Amino acid sequence: MTLSIKYLTAPATVAAAIALVKQAQPEERLVLVLPEQAEDFAHEVRLDVLRRQADAMRVQVGLVTQDEDIVYFARQARIPTFDTLERARNGWRYPRPAPPLPPPGTYRPLLIQPPSQAGLGLAAPAIVKRDADQALLLGETRRRIRPWWLTVLGYLVVAVLILAMLGAVVLYILPEATVTLVPERTRFVSSLEITAQVGLDEPEYINALVPARIVQARVEGFDTVNTTGVEEAPVGKATGLVTFVNQTSREIVVPPNTVVRTSTGNNVRFRVREPITVTAGIGAQATGLVEAIEPGRAGNVPAFTINEIEGPLNLSLRVSNQVPTAGGTVESVAVVTQADKERLAGKLQEELQRQAYARLAASLRQGEFIPPETVKTFTLAETYDRFAGEQADVLGMQLQLLARGLAIDLAGAQNLVERSLRESIPADHFLLEETLQIGQPGFVRFDEESATFTLTASAEALIPVKSGEVRTLLAGVPLDEAAPLLQKTLALAETPQITVQPEWLRRLPRIPTRINVRVLQGSAPDR
């Protein structure tokens, strides 16, 4: 046989495959390569049609696919599948077609045993065909002829029984009713004043006490702020020329850093910047550069005001500035103020308090709660890196705090108030768990080792509706009397909704199990 390979494009369909089969030559092997999107082939009936068409055209058809569903249904339809095209080329085992059904009128050999009453005067079935060692027996054993009236009577009895059964079905089994009930709800509220006390191991319901413990955390941090104070500060140092006059007959050298100063008002001191040599002889002069020791405008002195020499040279030399000194300047600089220190302390303390509260919360056990009102902070150490009035652009502070609070067993308190609420609900009521709510504690008093607070719990409860009792109560009751009977018997929030099928019956089913009871809005389960 010749091998023909056809590629189907997505989305591939069985109809397209059948069209390719019809185009193939008889005695040809047709390989169909399926794409990934070939969901149409994952169907046993469609693949069975493809196999029949291939058998009719005397074509052997095979599929190349890796889809497990297509492989499964192709195996059911007796179509070979291959995971790769190479396997389709190498090996090919084509299953035989399914055996056809026998043509109409053809009997298969069947051996029928003689009836058990064959020896009691009844004739055995007649043999109509014999095939080899097997016999095909057709017909019935002959029976005694019954009177016609007995047959008619039997039919009448059967008809009466059928009518009775139909009537029973209509009156008892067929009717169905649905009863929808909404029980009346009642809200219960319970409040309890509870005291959390240090030293307790477990809650005490009678005394309304719960355990508490003291927790503390130490935090430390550093922060900075920009200073806001401004003042005038000396910056530039004044400079100028001075003249030294020799009062001796020898040469004198004025060393650097020799201090000269003014002699009137506030003494302003200057230093000699470079060595100055005064030649020998009385009245000999030498000029040199001096610089104010302190910066600022105070170094700007008028002419002829520098006339003192500090040290032993004052006996050998005279000094004088023939021109004013200049260059002493001031500028605005940032300084630390007390307000800056207070602002930094408040900022850092607030941040450390948040950290301390977070650490306290992290140390809580399951079910515990720290009221913010019980948290107190203590300053252990504070250090500033600048003094008030000191020149600085940034002020830094190191602060260490100790936070202490009272951890209260809130879960235990909630259990106490929930127990109080449950005990206040009557025994014939059912508590709706989804409506249970416990409020936030309202604290009343605090001290070092205890805290008193009020906790409130509320929930809704109802009298449970028992479906079995409702079915028994309503069985066979007329439809018009059912709703008033339920309202009289049960505590309901709304008028019962009752539907009966079929509607013309106007009576609830007599069989209680045919009555469906629906309880809405969180009803309690049957008891």
Helix (H, G, I), strand (E, B), or coil: what is residue 428?
A: coil
Inside any domain, residue 390: no
* DSSP one-letter string for 371-424: -GGG-EEEEEEEEESS-TT-B-SEEEEEEEEEEEEEEEEHHHHHHHHHHHHHHH
Inside any domain, residue 392: no
pLDDT of residue 506: 83
Inside any domain, residue 97: no
> Which helix (H) or strand (E) element contains residue 158?
helix 148-168
Separation CA 298–CA 329 (nearest Å) = 9
Inside any domain, residue 163: no
Separation CA 473–CA 481 (nearest Å) = 11
Question: How many domains does the chain divide into?
Answer: 2
Separation CA 180–CA 186 (nearest Å) = 20
**Contacts of 191-194 spanning 24+ positions with Cβ under 8 A:** 191/417, 191/454, 191/455, 191/456, 191/457, 192/416, 192/417, 192/420, 192/454, 192/455, 192/456, 193/444, 193/452, 193/453, 193/454, 194/413, 194/416, 194/417, 194/441, 194/452, 194/453, 194/454, 194/455
Contact (Cβ atoms closer than 8 angstroms) between residue 31 and residue 83: no
The token duo for 504 is 């013309």
Inside any domain, residue 426: no
pLDDT of residue 171: 65
Instruction: List per-residue pLDDT tens for the chain, 527 residues long.
Output: 788 889 998 888 999 999 999 998 998 889 999 998 888 999 889 999 999 999 999 999 999 999 998 999 999 989 999 988 888 888 777 787 766 555 554 444 444 455 555 444 444 444 444 444 444 444 444 444 567 888 888 889 999 999 888 876 666 667 889 999 998 889 999 999 999 999 999 999 999 999 999 999 999 999 999 988 888 778 889 999 999 999 999 999 999 999 999 987 788 999 999 999 999 999 999 999 999 999 988 889 999 899 999 999 998 999 999 999 999 888 888 888 999 889 999 999 999 989 989 998 888 889 998 988 888 889 999 999 988 888 888 999 999 999 999 999 999 999 999 999 999 999 988 888 888 999 999 888 888 889 999 999 999 998 888 888 998 998 889 989 988 998 899 888 888 999 998 887 788 888 888 889 998 875 444 33
Dihedral sign of CA atoms 109, 115, 119, 120 in order: negative
The token duo for 388 is 């008030």
Which of 297, 328, 359 is the endpoint of a domain? 328
Contact (Cβ atoms closer than 8 angstroms) between residue 426 and residue 385: no
Inside any domain, residue 509: no
Tokens 């009966």 -> residue: 500
DSSP class of residue 170 equals: I
Which of 90, 113, 146 is the endpoint of a domain? 90
Tokens 């494009």 -> residue: 9
The pairing of beta strand 185-198 with beta strand 209-226: parallel
Inside any domain, residue 378: no
> Amino acid identity of 21?
V
Helix (H, G, I), strand (E, B), or coil: what is residue 314?
A: helix
Separation CA 76–CA 94 (nearest Å) = 13
Among 372, 223, 238, 389, CA closest to 299: 238
Which of 90, 124, 158 is the endpoint of a domain? 90
CATH of the domain at 42: 3.40.1260
Inside any domain, residue 399: no
Domain range holding 59?
2-90
CATH of the domain at 320: 2.40.30
CA 218 to each of CA 352, 368, 372, 375, 377: distance values in angstroms, whole numbers, following the listed order: 9, 20, 17, 13, 9
